């Protein structure tokens, strides 16, 4: 028996609640996720009820950790009191919880496909469309009888959409934005906001946080959406510059050092630390080969007159 519309709506509501909850635990998405979660819960009493159920069941991911047979089978080597065992288990749970999030647990639970550090794979999707993922990005897919949806869970992706014999719309959703293709090739980037850049035809962009009007973005244009519940102003952009990441490059004009380092981190297997907030706000312009992060860091150091110190897998950027 096919599920009823109510059952399908409830399932999607539960999946949305789980998705939002997990995103709030990801340091890279926490700020945007909390805002999106608040807006979604406020939209409907049913949303609020489902979220409370999900939050209780997930228990900040402890239930998932405790259900692991390897974890529950762990026993102390030495005899100890019940209090010591309880304290040890609490420490183990806490350590496992930290490890769960540190090792991308929330994203891995949701993602169908992830790119690693320095990887920018191009993938052919089930419908014949192609997708290129930027480094350190993740997506999941929801291709059904009536729609094609890609959920961008983290990072950035470029889509070249194939025509569909079933005329199913092709949509990319982030935590706060829906971008529906009108023919087309386009790029979606998820940070605190969602940026959509169109290279062919047009994309219809809408907020997932409020019932604000949809925005049409045509080739050679971009829009930023929708942390505050609405899309920003559509602006002209040079796609060859904005999408230089597809060639392993970063082209910037008067952006913060922090923004540049954030991009380099996608391709760097260690840690990069900027020594001060003041330095992080220095402005940078230029073209950097971020596919070679060491070279990019050296070029930044030379152009800004700052020191790049390497300590094993850790790089410290100092003024």
- pLDDT interval class at 7 (50, 70, 90): low
State the pLDDT at residue 63.
46
The CATH number for 225's domain is 2.60.120.1440
- Among 10, 36, 43, residue whose Cα is nearest residue 21: 36
What value does the mean pLDDT take over residues 230-239? 91
135 lies in the same domain as 216: yes
Find the Cα–Cα–Cα–Cα dihedral 162, 168, 169, 170, rounded to 10°.
-50
Among 86, 109, 132, the domain boundary falls at 109
Among 241, 265, 288, residue at a domain's last position: 241
Of 77 and 156, which is predicted with more confidence? Answer: 156
Say what the pTM is.
0.71
Contacts with 260 (C-beta within 8 Å, 6 or more apart), sequence order: 250, 252, 284, 288, 300
Q: Are 220 and 263 found together in one domain?
A: no
Task: Give the residue-averaged pLDDT of 3-9.
Answer: 57
d(CA 305, CA 287): 17
Judge if 205 and 264 occupy the same domain.
Answer: no
Task: For residue 312, give the DSSP letter.
Answer: T
| Per-residue confidence (pLDDT) for residue 57, from 0 to 100 | 65
By residue range, what is the domain housing residue 279?
248-318
| 23 and 88 housed in the same domain | yes
Residues 138 and 123 in one domain: yes
Q: What is the CATH number of the domain that holds 289?
A: 3.55.50.30
- Do 132 and 225 lie in a common domain? yes
Give the pLDDT confidence score for residue 28 in this predicted structure.
66
pLDDT at 25 over 60: yes
Least Cα distance to 18 among 87, 120, 106, 149 occurs for 106
Residues 49 and 124 grouped into a single domain: no
Q: Are residues 17 and 80 in the same domain?
A: yes
Q: Which residues of 277-315 are buried (b: 16+ CB within 10 A; e: fewer)?
A: eebbebebeeebbbbebeebbebbeeebebebeeeeeeb
> What's the rounded mean pLDDT across residues 286-314?
92
- If 0-12 CB within 10 Å is exposed, 13-18 middle and 19+ buried, where does residue 69 land? exposed
**Is residue 242 pLDDT above 60, yes or no?**
yes
119 and 230 share one domain = yes
What is the number of domains present in the chain? 3
Q: Both 221 and 127 in a single domain?
A: yes
Q: Are residues 230 and 138 part of one domain?
A: yes
Q: Which of 4-8, 88-92, 312-316 has the highest mean pLDDT?
A: 312-316
pLDDT tens across 61-73, in order? 444 444 455 444 5
Do 305 and 197 share a domain, yes or no?
A: no
> Residue 97 pLDDT more than 70?
no
pLDDT tens for each residue of 137-173: 999 999 999 999 999 999 999 999 999 988 999 999 9
- The last residue of one of the domains, among 109, 142, 172, is 109
């Amino acid at each position: 028996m096919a599920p009823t519309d109510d059952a399908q709506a409830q399932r999607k509501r539960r999946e949305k609640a789980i998705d939002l909850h997990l995103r709030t635990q990801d340091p890279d998405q926490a700020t945007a996720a909390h805002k999106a979660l608040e807006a979604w819960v406020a939209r409907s009493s049913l949303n609020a009820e489902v979220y409370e159920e999900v939050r209780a069941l997930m228990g900040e991911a402890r239930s998932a950790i405790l259900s692991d047979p390897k974890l529950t089978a762990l026993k102390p080597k030495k005899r100890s009191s019940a209090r010591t065992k309880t304290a040890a288990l609490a420490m183990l749970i806490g350590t496992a919880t930290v490890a769960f999030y540190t090792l991308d647990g929330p994203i891995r639970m949701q993602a169908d496909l992830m790119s690693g550090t320095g990887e920018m794979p191009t993938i052919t999707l089930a419908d014949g469309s192609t997708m290129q993922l930027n480094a350190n990005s993740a997506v999941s897919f929801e291709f059904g009888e009536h729609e094609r949806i890609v959920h961008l869970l983290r990072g950035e992706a470029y889509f070249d959409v194939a025509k569909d014999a079933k005329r199913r719309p092709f949509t990319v959703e982030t935590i706060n934005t829906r971008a529906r293709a009108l023919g087309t090739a386009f790029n979606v980037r998820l940070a605190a906001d969602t940026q959509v850049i169109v290279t062919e035809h047009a994309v219809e962009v809408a907020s997932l946080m409020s019932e604000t009007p949809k925005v049409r973005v045509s080739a050679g244009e971009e829009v930023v959406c929708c942390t505050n519940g609405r899309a920003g102003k559509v602006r002209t952009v040079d796609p060859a510059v904005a999408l230089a990441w597809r060639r392993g490059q970063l082209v910037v004009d008067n952006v913060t050092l922090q923004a540049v380092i954030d991009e380099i981190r996608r391709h760097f297997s260690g840690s990069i630390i900027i020594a001060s907030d003041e330095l992080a706000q220095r402005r940078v312009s230029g073209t950097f080969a971020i596919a070679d992060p060491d070279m990019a860091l050296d070029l930044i150091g030379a152009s800004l007159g700052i020191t790049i110190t390497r300590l094993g897998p850790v790089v410290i950027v100092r003024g």
